[in-house]
Amino acid sequence: METFSLLLQGFGVALQPINLFYALLGSVLGTAIGVLPGIGPALTIALLLPVTISVAPTSAFIMFAGVLYGAMYGGSTTSILINTPGEAGSMMTALEGNRMARAGRGASALATAALGSFVAGTIATLLLTFAAPAIAEIAFYFRPADYFALTVLAFTSVAVVMGSSRVRGFVSLFIGLALGLVGIDQMTGQARLTFGVPALFDGMELAVVLVSLFAVGEILYVASRYRKNASEIVPMRGWAWMSWEDLRRSWKPWLRGTALGFPIGALPGGGSEIPTMLSYTLERRLSKHPEEFGHGAIEGVAGPEAANNAAAAGILIPLLTLGLPTSATAAVLLAAFQNYGLQPGPFLFTNNPELVWGLIASLYVGNVMLLVLNLPLVGLWVRLLSIPAPQLYAGILVFATIGIWGVSNSVVDLIAMVIIGIMGYVMRVYDFPIAPVLIGLILGPMAEQQLRTALAAGQGNPVVLVSTPLSVAFLVLAGLFLLAPVVLRRLRAGA
């Protein structure tokens, strides 16, 4: 058990008071900045990069690991309580989580999110400890056709968030797809749908669309329909965090979410969006209470939350074992390694075992720390809802503005915020579902890029799209997800 003794040494490093302090600092910073809409872990760590000049490498990476996990926790809190996901990974959490909060079960939602993240983070860290090299190979196994099939599978999540009208659901999806096309086409370098505005060359910032649709749209809508006596939120009924019933319904989604999030997080470009969407779809399809979905089903919070935390751990695997940065966050961490003159990869394990194992051990420590920080804070967070509505919504708008302005310092983004916010208002008034816009915006560019790469490499032969076992498996699964409810209904009707 060489790994085990190395891990013990790692704990020796991670549990030093100074490193515990950095883990705490990172967790708190990550949570604080994760609460700010639009500012995710990648930007937070990038902003903290200058500390690499004055802090020892082990301590710095322990802090960054805290930021990574902390940002994931912070993002889910705002999703649940005020329907404002901080980043795309917590969008699916908002769907059910905010419904739960409105029904006075905000504390249960926060608790299942915190516990689910903890469970997912712990399992993922265990896998990282004992099976990292094997899992890292997944990254090399995936071909463009597989990615394309994976995005097709993720697109099935549109079906479950379609809302009452299919036409309006598709309108939402296509608006998202159109927004995703804005910017310079990576494959040919041509500007698409930018209409000569240079600020649009890099495309619509996902954070801007996310924050505008959810936060600004909500503020406009509620403002126009707000009556003081209509305020019937039940802010505090959930003081007792989770009932046994909640726990019984949560543990399977936690595990399934982890199983989805971890490997997809380890893929280049995998990220946390696809696993959370898939997890939500899966839970909705498997649930014994499908009627509760859309009205606050706890499974719809537990699964995606576990998935997004597992994905956060997943990105560390190819980074540490291969030196392969698979996401923006990983690329920033790689830059941090380079600031110390270190090169992550197999040689890092032999040359700097203290750093690597200290970092891995600190992930365990960080997980426990975040749980300890967040569970008691659940009560405090829920109290946010007892702020009177005028000041609560005013505060949300201020934070949304800070988030959008802080990301890019672009007035064009602020203009986009208002336009997309008005769109969010119209969509609420005329009952268009919001989530398909974001699904289209996130998956559209990915699907197009992978499809074109696959076809270009296969010189235009479409057979290449079903040339690997994985791509076939994903496409079949996508078909099952879409057709299963129809077939089941037929069977039941026939019986």
Please list every residue from 23 through 52 that binds other proteins, using CB under 8 A: 29, 32-33, 36, 39, 42-50
- Which residue stretch of 4-12, 126-134, 178-186, 283-291 sits at the interface with other proteins (rule: CB under 8 A)? 178-186
Q: Find the binding residues for other proteins in span 428-447 (CB under 8 A).
A: 428-431, 444
- Do the beta carbons of residue 206 and residue 88 sit within 8 Å? yes
Ramachandran class of 433: left when φ > 0, alpha when ψ lies in -120 to 50, beta otherwise: beta
- Which residue stretch of 58-66, 271-279, 396-404, 483-491 sits at the interface with other proteins (rule: CB under 8 A)? 396-404
Residues 6 or more apart whose CB falls under 8 angstroms from that of 430 comprise: 168
Q: Find the binding residues for other proteins in span 240-259 (CB under 8 A).
A: none
Minimum gap (Å) between residue 262 Cβ and other proteins: 18
The residue (of 100 and 369) whose beta carbon lies closer to other proteins is: 100
The residue (of 2 and 232) whose beta carbon lies closer to other proteins is: 232
The residue (of 3 and 338) whose beta carbon lies closer to other proteins is: 338
Helix (H) / strand (E) element for 191: namely strand 191-192
402 part of the interface to other proteins, by CB under 8 A: yes
Binds other proteins by CB under 8 A, chosen from 347, 372, 480, 489: 347
The residue (of 102 and 256) whose beta carbon lies closer to other proteins is: 102
Q: For residue 334, give the 3-state DSSP assignment.
A: helix
Binds other proteins by CB under 8 A, chosen from 21, 133, 140, 488: 140
Would you tell me how many other CB atoms lie within 10 Å of the CB of residue 196? 6
Listing DSSP states for 95-123 in one string gives HHHHHHIIIIIHHHHHHHHHHHHHHHHHH
387 part of the interface to other proteins, by CB under 8 A: no
Number of residues that bind other proteins (CB under 8 A): 124
The residue (of 53 and 491) whose beta carbon lies closer to other proteins is: 53
How far is residue 67's CA from residue 389's CA, in Å, rounded to a whole number? Answer: 31
Minimum gap (Å) between residue 47 Cβ and other proteins: 3
- Which residue stretch of 111-119, 246-254, 306-314, 425-433 sits at the interface with other proteins (rule: CB under 8 A)? 425-433
Minimum gap (Å) between residue 327 Cβ and other proteins: 9
The identity of residue 430, as a single letter, is Y
Phi–psi pair at 489, nearest 5 degrees: -60, -45
The residue (of 371 and 454) whose beta carbon lies closer to other proteins is: 454
Binds other proteins by CB under 8 A, chosen from 18, 395, 466, 476: 395
- Do the beta carbons of residue 293 and residue 284 sit within 8 Å? yes
How far is residue 197's CA from residue 252's CA, in Å, rounded to a whole number? Answer: 48
Helix (H) / strand (E) element for 222: namely helix 217-225
Minimum gap (Å) between residue 401 Cβ and other proteins: 5
Q: Closest Cα partner for 376 from 107, 16, 59, 10?
A: 107
- Do the beta carbons of residue 272 and residue 303 sit within 8 Å? no
Q: Find the binding residues for other proteins in span 51-80 (CB under 8 A).
A: 53
Q: Which two tokens stand for residue 38?
A: 């639009």
How far is residue 437's CA from residue 452's CA, in Å, rounded to a whole number? Answer: 22
**Cα–Cα distance list, 230 to 226, 362, 424 (Å):** 7, 47, 22
Q: Find the binding residues for other proteins in span 188-247 (CB under 8 A).
A: 188-193, 195, 198-199, 201-202, 216, 218-228, 230-231, 233
Ramachandran class of 341: left when φ > 0, alpha when ψ lies in -120 to 50, beta otherwise: left
Binds other proteins by CB under 8 A, chosen from 353, 406, 472, 482: 406
Minimum gap (Å) between residue 38 Cβ and other proteins: 11
Q: Closest Cα partner for 208 from 421, 426, 436, 404?
A: 404
384 part of the interface to other proteins, by CB under 8 A: no
105 part of the interface to other proteins, by CB under 8 A: no
The residue (of 249 and 428) whose beta carbon lies closer to other proteins is: 428
Ramachandran class of 183: left when φ > 0, alpha when ψ lies in -120 to 50, beta otherwise: left
The residue (of 128 and 182) whose beta carbon lies closer to other proteins is: 182
Minimum gap (Å) between residue 272 Cβ and other proteins: 16
Binds other proteins by CB under 8 A, chosen from 63, 115, 160, 177: 177
Q: Closest Cα partner for 281 from 386, 159, 194?
A: 159
268 part of the interface to other proteins, by CB under 8 A: yes
